[in-house]
Structure 1
């Protein structure tokens, strides 16, 4: 038991934590016990914590000291502390408030109060801004779509990647024909700075113009992530030979044909006079045939 003739001071959290964006305040209560008959004052100050997620003096908060005054008979007083708002995603961080050393006072238990800073910043995630272009092959082709975070994740985070039509594209790729559609959740582990999703580009024998589809990102759960930047757009180039179908015969040396792709409306083709052609014939465009576009 403490001697009544002596005065003791202790300290405890009052508002133990606050969001970083509010700049606080957090607060402590300083208690005076024992002999409280005389007015007095004590000094308290911020102290670095030894915890794993310790707030940094000078980065997360400034060194702050406060003089707590007591009038005769007063048993408690409150002191407030603030911190610095930054844009860095961080874990919950703590710091201590304790009595300034060297004062001629009796310090009881607890002699320090732990206060916390609640982070309210989130990392960002975006598609890696590189061209996503692939040439359709004789068999299915795999294409990696990558996405990156603005910094290593503090904890795991789950995102969703979804295939969508490309806004404004003239030639839309068709899900199930040109590529395998996807709507997939991916969990990024702590410390991750990005990941990728592998898209299957389907093979087909149809001659086509270059076609496009896109992918979008969405935050689902875990460590907050803010999606920034545009959607990823994939361009599929065709590797199939273009065939031409004869639509009419104009003379013994010239025919009009229709392209199997949508790149041209019609083509005038000059052929050797020794060749025999029929209205139902199909020819393969090659260097031995001279073509000119008719618009």
Structure 2
């Protein structure tokens, strides 16, 4: 019953975020802008409004709801996080990075347009994310907007997602040990998921103890998300995933699945889900959807 309720909530939140971003991309040039080039906007829409579960913005919206934040304010932050995530996918797919032709079952942005447009689309999405978080129209107090900008910058940048991608590229030649793999994955994948959980508490003005608890929950499910992703990479087909699979093994990159095996990975996912549920025990029953999100991460098939 809870799984069906979660699936409905995830789909509803995805539609909400997609509608918000579609409206934001359709807006004319804002105050301070000169013009929004049509080809660039088409590439952005192709890279963002192309399906996807919108799991990271879901975490923002559900955590914000848990702590009583206004839904409209949370939408700005959720939309910003999705912009950062989609920018990373557009750039990751480039020939200089992962060199992928398909994403979510469609041609990647550099294939549908060209490499230069894909780079600019990613650049634009990253900066637009900070536009959304810092915009007074989101209704958040100035100090809250500043805190969120700082958290998002650190999750997306040198010591977060971008740094993790650099470590991932280096892993093809300099094989990391298990601690190195965990660090890489916590940065490349986990940092934005951690932000999604912590941001909901921040924009609600929750006490520091709650922010730390949600940050811990985000770190836990971030580990689970990447572990499940690595498991799917060796067990699912490209058609099921909507993107190429088996690339880490082909490139000789180490993962926790390659180090310990599929059975260990499934057991570790169960342990991470249990840890996440324990972290949120204080908020039950209001945190049921977030606990279900942890189970979704561990059990997803695509």
TM-score higher than 0.5 = no
Q: Which has the higher helix share?
A: 2
Answer 1 or 2: higher relative contact order, Cα 8 Å, separation at least 6.
Answer: 2
Q: Which has the higher strand share?
A: 1
TM-score scaled by length of structure 2: 0.19
TM-score scaled by length of structure 1: 0.19
